[in-house]
Structure 1
Amino acid sequence: MKVIPAIDIIDGKAVRLTKGDYNQKTEYSDSPLAVAKEFEQAGITNLHLVDLDGAKAQKPQNLSILDSITSETNLDVDFGGGVKSNESLEAVFKAGAKQITAGSIAAKDKPLVKGWLKEFGAERIVLGADVINEQIAISGWQEDSGLELFSFLEEYIDAGAQYCICTDVSKDGMLQGPAIDLYKRILARFPALRLIASGGVAELSDLEALSQIGVYGTIVGKAYYEGRISLEELAAFNS
């Protein structure tokens, strides 16, 4: 299992939100680049970089930070936040991202995202499935898309998707444990899917539990930033 630390960016700073609420924001003193370098030095290979300004603006706003991280580290970066057009997708790849995460846009414009899968390949396009009560949530989790999770996944897997970051919104930033049962059901239905769990990881035992059920990767944010899991412990899980 890959452990994938997250850096969320607002105004050029590394932050963490609770349940995606911009009003429940914690800022961290180190710059995103400094944090990324710490991850790399510990032996971590992947990074989940989220442009929260871009998500609001509907267009990436922190490409210079992405470029600095990909230029000054060897981390494989997946980037999300505001990637909603061919132009923004190409700009993100030009800035060095190995993958982009297609979240709300995958619910709102399926032909566009399916076209990306066909043109760029499944290795570069990660499906983002943010879930509330097994319904896909969009627009910063403020809106119900009307799409049911399993049907959504099936449609995109049929279109070639191989990677999916699934976030249980009720768990995000709460440090109360991940949605193990939900991930078990997803993997039972789609065993070939490279499922990346996101939300709720609070301690080392959560990573152990996720590894045991066979997720491809797990995104870790708040648990690391608040000192509940060390860098060394994160790096030890990478495989």
Structure 2
Amino acid sequence: MEIIPAIDLIDGKCVRLTEGDFSQQTTYHSDPVEVAKQFEALGLRRLHLVDLDGARAKQPVNLPILARIARETNLVIDYGGGLQSVDAIQMALDAGAQQVTAGSIAVREPKTVQKWLKEYGADRIIVGADFKDNFIAINAWADQSDLTLESFIASFSEKGAKTFICTDVSKDGKLQGSSLDIYQKLIASFPDLQFIASGGVTTIEEVRQLRAAGLHGAIIGKAIYEGTISLEDLAKEVI
């Protein structure tokens, strides 16, 4: 299982939100490039980079930071936030992202994301499945769609997607544990797909449970910054 630390960006700084609420924001570090270097120094190989400014602007804002991290580390970066067009995707890839995440646009414009999957391949386009109470969340997590998590994943599997970041909005940033039971059901229902857990991962024991369940990856954010999971313990889990 891939251990994937997260860096969320607002005004060029590392922040974390609670349940995606911009009014519940904590700033942890002013230099995300240095944070990325710390991750790499411990043997971590992946990075989940979220441009929250871009998500609000509906276009990438923090590409210079992406470019610096890509230039100054060897981390495999997946980038999300504000990706609404092929031009935006290309800018992110040109800046050094190896993968991009299609978030709310996958709900609003599924045919557009299907085109991206065909053009760039399922190895480069990750589909973001943000959910709450088993329904897909939209509009920066403020609203729920009428799509169930399972039907959304099934639909994009048919469109060629193979990797999904599944974020439980109700748990994100709360440090109250992840939705292991939901992930186990998804893996049982869609054994050929790759699922990345996101939201609420709090302890190193949870990381081990997610690996044992068969998750492809686990994104860990606030637990690192708040110290409920130490980087040293996390590094020991890297295979």
TM range (shorter): over 0.9
Structure 1's consecutive aligned runs of 4 or more residues displaced over 6 angstroms after TM superposition are: none
Q: Which whole-Å CA distance do the structure 2 matches of 1:34 and 1:225 have between them?
A: 14
What is the RMSD computed on CA atoms of the aligned residues?
A: 0.8
Letter paired with 1:31: D
1:37 to 2:19 alignment: no
Aligned counterparts, 1:120-199, within 5 A? 120-199=120-199
- More divergent stretch after superposition (186-195 vs 140-149): 140-149
Residue 49 of structure 1 aligns with which residue? 49
In the alignment, what sits opposite 1:225? 225
Residue 30 (structure 1) shift: 4.2
- Kindly state the Cα deviation for residue 57 of structure 1 after the two structures are TM-superposed: 0.5
Q: Which amino acid aligns with 1:44?
A: L
Instruction: Please say if residues 15 and 29 of structure 2, whose CA atoms lie closer than 8 Å, have aligned partners that are also in contact.
Output: no
Secondary structure of 1:171's counterpart equals coil
Describe the SS at the equivalent of 2:65: helix
2:111 alignment partner AA = P
Rounded to whole Å, the distance in 1 between the matches of 2:122 and 2:235 is: 25
**1:2/1:237 contact within 8 Å kept:** no
1:88 partner letter:
A
Q: Which whole-Å CA distance do the structure 2 matches of 1:125 and 1:223 have between them?
A: 26
Q: Secondary structure in 1 aligned to 2:174?
A: coil
User: What secondary structure is seen at the aligned counterpart in 2 of 1:14?
Assistant: strand
Q: Distance in 2 between matches of 1:82 and 1:201?
A: 25
How far apart, in 2, do the equivalents of 1:233 and 1:125 lie? 30
Name the SS of the counterpart of 2:129 in structure 1. Answer: strand
User: 2:66, 2:97 within 8 Å by CA — same for their partners in 1?
Assistant: yes
CA distance in 1, matches of 2:81, 2:130: 13
Number of matched pairs: 239
Matched position secondary structure for 1:170:
coil
Match of 1:26 in 2: 26
Alignment partner of 2:170: what SS? Answer: helix
Q: Which runs of 5+ in 2 are unaligned?
A: none
Measure, in 1, the Cα distance between the counterparts of 2:90 and 2:187.
31
Supply the AA of the counterpart residue of 1:229: I
Q: Which runs of 5+ in 1 are unaligned?
A: none
Instruction: Give the TM-score of the pair, scaled to structure 1.
Output: 0.98
Q: What is the Cα deviation at residue 145 of structure 1?
A: 2.4
1:72: which partner in 2?
A: 72
What is the aligned partner in structure 1 of residue 4 from structure 2? 4
